[in-house]
A and B are shown apart, each in its own frame.
Chain A
């Protein structure tokens, strides 16, 4: 095992006082912007992480390839790439692939990272089925091929993550070359799972991403529930279940996040008992149906997919989350200072209660079709 103390505790203090940092920034008009603001903000919360993970999800970065699924794959060995290439070729038409642009940075043991633009080979009639086809392929690669991990699989978006401080990961992946309308960022302080490249946040499936501060003590029951729906957890980090839970609830079962937030951070039973009859029925039904998707333990998260960015904390708010708005740019952050650094004069600033989501949607929903086109429309 490599000695990581030099990275995570250069001052040799006897204790690290940390928690993860999360930051999200979205232009509600869909205008794309550079990495400058988001990287500056997440770097300002440097001390919340300890250099064992940093990452970004950026939406709207591949307009020229917007029709194709963009796979970002990390290879921890050469043979893994050969196997994945064969697998991909059997399931997809590979439109274009390349080694991802990287540069030397203060990151730990970077793997080989490769980018593929692909379209599914067997075109099926319904959109959902195509997406399921892609999900299945991703799960197969992650679970069956050793040392290869698909860490980004959406259209016109991408996840960039690794072991290092987020600002170093940004440098490694040359994020200054990308423009997106929605950025979520993460600085990691791993608690009880390993700090490795696949375990950094954001976690992704299709265009759904999650960054998370906290820990999910319900990981076991959540992952077993998700397994029944074909999701296999392979990244050795609790947050992974959130990405799949959101994909299941929002993409497949088409629940609005207002309800999803009440599944992930369900109201306490004694609160449900004091609700009006109709509400009580709804919330009881939610808790009974989706009890296994209740996220137990402290968390604050930012969920994103094309056209939407959502912040949420656990129901008793054991992790921080604040939000701000300036000229149609929505910020969600672990700390207020990071937001103020990027936008000193916020129009609105608020601090949501535990379990109450902050939801930012693209103002013009038609833009969504150009950003995330469906095949058969």
Chain B
């Protein structure tokens, strides 16, 4: 094997004016910083033991949160770019604003808390960890999520979802609360759970129209306990009254078959 020796120098505010350290908290002004430089800097200061980092003036830098240690907390102000927290393995990221497409892509562990909405492909191929979105999400959220033993990725959506929610879902949990919908209204989402073969989508009232190959069911006791704890977490994050939310009927959407396309080409 070829051994790569990396030249790593210590980044500090003397050499990088956009990085400031106040006691234990680091502040990074990301205005105009190229995403590769920004992520390099984050890796470097996390390597120096940073536990709390505040990112200001973030405008579209990609892949923030990827390849960082597992006990760091990132607070972002602005609009982080695509694939926020992609392949993330532990950190907690709080976004004061909206996140773009692909946030939580193939995330393995950690938490994304979005004080706003997220774009398409949120939680794409997610394998673990949690995503809490205060408002709406875009298309194809939770596409190809998967679970293994105790590792269950979870997405909680406060608002509504768009088409292809949970498409090809193989595991994990999606909970849609629809808090911004009027009574009796549904999410404008087609093809929910298309090709789904594992995992579960919970909904508050019947707000999703599920696709062929899935089944709408009443929730059981275990489901209720799980939903309650997720709603509680959502409410703690975004300061909402959980009683109001729990005061509704919940349903679950599950796949009919574990191998929906097994017969497709076999005739």
| A interface list, Cβ under 8 A from B | 11, 44-45, 47, 316-317, 320, 322, 335-338, 340-341, 349, 351, 353-354
Check if B98 is an interface residue, CB within 8 A of chain A. Answer: yes
Verify B79–A354 contact, CB threshold 8 A.
Answer: no
- Cβ–Cβ contact B59 & A317, under 8 A: no
**What would 24 A/B residue contacts be, using CB atoms closer than 8 Å?**
A44-B60, A45-B60, A316-B139, A316-B164, A317-B120, A317-B139, A317-B162, A317-B163, A320-B120, A322-B119, A335-B82, A335-B100, A336-B100, A337-B58, A337-B60, A337-B78, A337-B100, A338-B59, A349-B98, A351-B117, A351-B136, A351-B138, A353-B188, A354-B163
Chain B residues closer than 8 Å to A340, beta-carbon distance: 59, 78-79
> A353: which B residues are within 8 A, CB to CB?
162-163, 188
The answer on a CB contact under 8 Å between B60 and A341 is yes
Residues on B with beta carbons closer than 8 Å to the beta carbon of A45? 60
Q: Does B158 contact A (CB under 8 A)?
A: no
Instruction: With CB as the reference atom, state the residue of chain B lying closest to A340.
Output: B79
In the complex, residue of chain A having the shortest beta-carbon distance to the beta carbon of B99 = A336
Q: Does B81 make an interface contact (CB < 8 A)?
A: yes
Residues of B within 8 A of A336 (CB): 79, 98, 100, 119
Task: Report chain A residues within 8 Å CB of B120.
Answer: 317, 320
- Could you tell me the distance in whole angstroms from the C-beta of B114 to the nearest C-beta in chain A? 12
Q: Is B109 an interface residue (CB 8 A)?
A: no
Please name 5 further chain A to chain B contacts, defined as beta carbons within 8 Å, in addition to the given A337-B100, A354-B139, sorted by A numbering. A316-B139, A317-B139, A317-B162, A337-B59, A351-B117
Interchain nearest-CB distance for A292 vs B (Å): 25
Instruction: Say whether A316 contacts B163, CB under 8 Å.
Output: yes
Minimal beta-carbon separation of A265 from chain B (angstroms): 13
Q: DSSP class of B's interface residues: helix, strand, loop or mixed?
A: loop
B140 to chain A: closest residue by CB: A317
B79-104 contact mask (Cβ, 8 Å, vs A): 1 or 0 = 11110000000000000001011000
Q: How far is the CB of B124 from chain A (nearest CB, A)?
A: 13
Q: How far is the CB of B111 from chain A (nearest CB, A)?
A: 22
In the complex, residue of chain A having the shortest beta-carbon distance to the beta carbon of B97: A340
- Min distance, Cβ A353 to any Cβ of chain B, angstroms: 6
The reply to whether B101 and A320 form a contact with Cβ atoms under 8 Å apart is yes
Which chain A positions have C-beta within 8 A of B82?
Answer: 335
Nearest residue (CB) in A for B139 is: A317
Nearest chain B residue, comparing its CB with the CB of A317 = B139
Q: Are A47 and B188 in contact (CB under 8 A)?
A: no
When the two chains form the complex, which single residue of B36, B80, B119 contacts A351, counting CB atoms closer than 8 Å? B119
Query: B35 — which chain A residues lie within 8 A by C-beta?
Result: 47
B62 CB–A CB distance under 8 Å: yes
Tell me if A341 and B188 are in contact (CB < 8 A).
no
CB-nearest residue of chain B relative to A322?
B119
In Å, the complex CA distance between A234 and B181 comes to: 49
Q: Kindly report which residue of chain A lies nearest to residue B83, judged by CB atoms.
A: A17
Whole-angstrom distance between the alpha carbons of A45 and B60 in the complex?
A: 8
* Residue of B35, B60, B164 contacting most chain A CB atoms (<10 Å): B60
Nearest CB in chain B: distance from A185 CB, A: 15
Cβ contacts B153-168/A at 8 Å (1 or 0 each):
0000000001110000
Most chain B beta-carbon contacts within 10 A, residue among A11, A320, A337, A340: A337
Residue of A nearest to B117 (CB): A351
* B59 and A44 contact, CB distance less than 8 A: yes
